[in-house]
Amino acid sequence: MHNDRAGANRLLTGAKLNNPNRSVNWIAEKVIYDLERDRGRI
């Protein structure tokens, strides 16, 4: 995200809304996984 805190917060907020019963750690891991997947690292 290159220090884009606002963008990172939007991704975290969206993931939390879509997965309300998951832990904060799970949400963070999901966002990281999705970013890496979308950038072709996985």
Q: Which domain holds residue 25?
A: 5-38
Per the CB < 8 A criterion, the answer to whether 21 and 37 are in contact is no
Higher pLDDT, 40 or 13: 13
What pTM, to 2 d.p., does this model score? 0.82
List pLDDT tens digits, range 15-41: 999 999 999 999 999 999 999 999 987
The whole-number pLDDT of residue 40 equals 87
The whole-number pLDDT of residue 10 equals 97
Per the CB < 8 A criterion, the answer to whether 19 and 27 are in contact is yes
Two structure tokens written together for 4? 């884009």
> What's the total number of domains in the chain?
1
